[in-house]
Chains A and B, each alone.
Chain A
Amino acid sequence: KQEVTQIPAALSVPEGENLVLNCSFTDSAIYNLQWFRQDPGKGLTSLLLIQSSQREQTSGRLNASLDKSSGRSTLYIAASQPGDSATYLCAVGTGGFKTIFGAGTRLFVKA
């Protein structure tokens, strides 16, 4: 059974700091891994999608890596800003047309 874990559960950093969010999964047989952002009471916004054959994806200040063999992904945020404050979730696409989500990391960037 696929399980997705995100560490840390919460993180507070000063503005301008570079940071890394971690995601681990138990079954390496995944189709893709997606990172999302969620603001309070809102839906999820897709940040980056990594296919199982890829190692990383970049979008602006965001870089996501994927290591299937070790069951890990990281989301790197460069030069963090207060507007980056949100909950970040990772999700793995599995067989059976099902996507499994981690519990998320709540990020607070202090001005």
Chain B
Amino acid sequence: KAGVTQTPRYLIKTRGQQVTLSCSPISGHRSVSWYQQTPGQGLQFLFEYFSETQRNKGNFPGRFSGRQFSNSRSEMNVSTLELGDSALYLCASSLAEGPIGELFFGEGSRLTVL
């Protein structure tokens, strides 16, 4: 059974650009959540989607957005990139409808903003 797949794994952007990251959950999983990981802040919750609906959003500016498609694949977008957006972006999928499911993570997308 394939795990959570995130693409691209690595990318370099410059300030002001935008970026789109993709996440394919484990087959059958309908919940997808996104996290930002930095050395200073640790793992911070970005947003969670279930059946194409965003059910919660973390404390990030509006430059961070996401969506989920009917096949449960999810994308997140960051516009007008800042140096501080450099981080490892992790996606997790879960079978459960609520916060009671086990989270399975992808390998992450490492974004470097120059």
Establish whether residues A49 and B45, one from each chain, have CB atoms under 8 Å apart when the complex forms: no
Q: Beyond A43-B106, A96-B56, is A32–B100 a contact (Cβ under 8 Å)?
A: yes
Central interface residue in B56, B58, B103, by most chain A CB within 10 Å:
B103
CB within 8 Å of A: which B94-114 residues = 98-108, 110
Contacts A43-B90, A44-B90, A101-B42 given; indicate if A96 touches B99 (C-beta within 8 A).
yes
In the complex, A44 Cα to B6 Cα: how many Å?
A: 13
**Interface stretch among A59-67, A68-76, A87-95?**
A87-95
> What secondary structure prevails in chain B residues at the interface with A?
strand
Bound: A31/B33 CA distance, A:
16
Interface string of A80-111 (1 = CB under 8 A from B): 00000000010101111111111110000000
Interchain nearest-CB distance for A52 vs B (Å)? 8
Residues of B in contact (CB 8 Å), total 28
Number of A-B pairs, beta carbon distance below 8 Å: 67
Docked CA distance A46–B42 (Å): 17
- Cα-based distance from A103 to B58 in the complex (angstroms): 17
Give the complex CA separation of A89 and B50 in angstroms: 24
Nearest CB in chain A: distance from B112 CB, A = 13
Interface check A51, CB cutoff 8 A? yes
**B107 contacts A104, C-beta separation under 8 Å:** no
CB contacts (< 8 Å) of B42 on chain A: these are 101-104
Do the beta carbons of B43 and A101 come within 8 Å of each other? Answer: yes
Cβ A89 vs Cβ B43 within 8 A: yes
Residues of chain A touching chain B, judged by Cβ–Cβ distance below 8 Å, are 31-32, 34, 36, 41-46, 49, 51, 89, 91, 93-104
Can you report 10 A-B residue pairs in the complex whose CB atoms are below 8 A from each other? A32-B100, A43-B105, A44-B105, A49-B102, A97-B31, A97-B48, A97-B98, A97-B99, A99-B33, A102-B42
